[in-house]
Structure 1
Amino acid sequence: MESFKNLLDESVEVNNDVEQNNISANEEDELGESKMPVKRCRSLSASVWSYFEKPIKHPDGKMRAKCKYCKKDLVGGGSLSDTSTLIRHMKRCENRPKTFADFDVGKLVLDHSEKIRSRIIDQNVLNDMISMMIIEHDLPYSFVECKRFRELIEYLHPDVKIPSRRVATSNINKMYECEKEKLKLVLSKLPGRINLTSDVWTSCTTEGYISLTTHYVDQNWKLHSKMLNFSHFPKIIYGFLEDWGIETKIFSLTLDNASSNDKMQDYLKERLLLQNDGLLCGDEFFHIRCVAHILNLIVQEEFIQYENDNLSHVGKSQLDTYLEEQKHSSQYHLNLDLLQYWMENKVRFPELALMAYDILSIQITIVASESAFSIGSRVLNKYRTSLLAENVQALIYTRN
């Protein structure tokens, strides 16, 4: 608080100096002589000359003083009261260190070290915060144009520029593209395959939407579920995969048991099979329904494939070594974490760990994709039926 007191004292002194100088100038105009005490003029001079060099008489006969900070020569300093020009420059000089008197007290805050600083508002940060508020609280874009909201922001900081609904829409779409690029980079570096879930939904406007969610285990053996798309149903899932650059990394697709999904998965399977290494084990385990049975078949198939690739090798395989180890019964290991286990043993069983990357992220339900529709029903309601499809996707994806 000592710095606060010093700056406050300095501001009072400067303001008093300005006031005294104005009084002095007025009295000189009216009476022809100064009635201010000499002591006060000296105080005024002492304050001003801390910012200026000693005045020098120039060839034109005028006394000029040079600013210590911007090096500009200014007329003044010929007498004890001839400092009004210097004071005005002192308050405007951009190079001069700021004091308490330079700020509006209402815009000052104390930081953690009790130093005074001006509350600087970054317009870009403000725009991002408003955009996240719209996304997280399902607010309409027109919220930024509400009268009371604008009055509140203006009261807090009159100099802030509040974005229009057009700017808010554009900013949210930019945030969506930025987050999308981040996720694309993550997906491109995954050590294992990606599993998908998908579902369809009809909005209050009777338009069909399809959600596509990806599930994967990262390099740190953490399971993630990320929404990829929330789009009009006529769009084809394979186009989504190409857009994300993951058409060669798909392992499985989990759908509900509706017969209407068969045609979609058949088409997607055909397209993926055209890619080199498009699907593991052919297409046998691509469409997930009865997950308990399918997982068992997948494990057996991959073990057989691994053993066939290593028939010529002498000695025990990783699989043999793994199966000979003591089993971890859930009865005695209540908090057994499979992902943690494989993270700790991936060096001992590198090939089996790669299989675990693929298998442990397979979803047994489509709950992850269905949850997107609960968000969609709040974004697309009877009061917001005119939203463009790309704006709907940006709102829902960025929130996810």
Structure 2
Amino acid sequence: MDVNSSSVSGSPRKIFNTAARQKSKVWNVFGFYKKDGKLDKNHAICKLCRAPLKYTGSTTNLDQHATRKHREEYGELLKPHNNEQEQAAATQRATGNVITKFYGQLGDSSSRAKDITASITRFIAKGLWPYNIVEGEGFQDLIHTLEPRYKIPSRQHITNTCMPALYAQVKSQVEKELAHAERVAITTDAWTSCSTESYVTITVHYISPDWKLNVHVLQTRAFKGSHTGKNIGALLKQACVDWNLLDKDPALVTDNATNMVLAGVEAEMTPHLMCFAHTINLATQKAFKVDTVARLLGRVRKAVAFFHRSVRAAEILQEKQKQLALPSHKLIQDVSTRWNSSHDMLERFFEQHPAISAALMSRDLRKGEEVNTLKDKDFCDIEDIVKLMAPVKLVTTSMSEDKRPTLSMILPVKAKLKKNFEPSDEDSVLIREMKQAFKNDLEKRYTGLEDLFHTAAALDPRFKSLPFLSNHDAERTFTSISAEAASLHHKVTGGSVQRGPVQTDPCQSEPANGDPDVCIDVPQTQDEHKGLCVL
């Protein structure tokens, strides 16, 4: 077998280094095979090309071979290295250079090179990496180790050729999938990047013929004009034209901002639903803006910011956590636009309040007394707020589901929250005010869409008995569903009657309402069941 070929295929014999007392630099390139457990010093083996050279104790012929055959690689290996890891990396690079010389570089048109280039392009696209990652030393070293014969394309080639080709390929595939969708839902939002550039992202959701909920980001475009409802509505319309979605009767989901409400009217998309998680956020923000709560949050933020800003304070807090056997958790600073971050901040603050109080009273902190403005009653209020808002956090998490539709959950969950926020005789004044503020804001949401929500809930096996509705409203909902089902049945079968087998309800032993034709079998996960039961 050719000794060179053993370096790139098969399982080559291991080359062992000489004893440490050998000082000649040529031993960076040469070693010996073992025979009967001992080094076979009759021939020295080149680590770069595995050529055997007669060895009689002199290294002259070894040095001549390395200089003549592997001048560049030999020079690389002779460079001083701080540790064995650097030496191994140098050997790997040198070996790769030899393989490239022996076999030649992969041609740009070879299937192997095309596959690697396509894989790098997908890596950049899926990971949102910058294009100049291909110029990074670490990335080039990785690719060179995996395939020494491959020439990494330039950043310009990735930008101007590879990425547009990948975009065209993916767009064509998405268009084919969307062509088979009967209806679609569009979600959109405007956002600002760290460099204060404005963008609008549009996403499409649809159910495939095999009953899977699919999601695609159609576009993220820079938005130069004013964020008026008219401009955003025009952008939505154009996106539907570009992706052939106008005949799909698209529904629209946005946040509750006034310009988004007007955008739905401008785009003529119905129904236009407001994001339930955003609605919950708005209602909770109202509760957190109650004067007493707002002042309490301000004092907590001041303390948390102190520990984030002061290195010494953070160190003392860690010491107190160990002394009090508390978890070594960092304090959380909330973001005013996200209510759940305020809940997490209060929850963590309450968990760590013994360590926080001890740290703030430490003599090693000069300004600790200025920050330590929280009283025992404040910690009682924090505990009450955390308990009150725990179900709301659960709802926010549950409604952020992206694998199954959540429309059917809106009214049942809203009814549960309203019940949870009913005033109680045991409530403090603070909690009573929070409940009232939350309920007042939530109550005015989703008016005019009740029939849609009732139908969605009735078709969900978890809620189809509609316990949150009066008997009259429930009966009216079932009558409407039955009429629509009969109409669809007549349309599909041309008027012929075809009765199928009764499907089993996963929640009950008998079909709801005693009607086997309206019972729908939908899987329910254990986590969903647990989450809804907690409410």
Q: Same fold (TM over 0.5)?
A: no
TM-score for both structures, normalised by structure 1 = 0.43
TM-score for both structures, normalised by structure 2 = 0.33
**Which structure shows the bigger proportion of residues in helix conformation?**
2
Greater Rg, structure 1 or structure 2? Answer: 1
Highest RCO, 1 vs 2 (Cα 8 Å, sep ≥ 6): 1
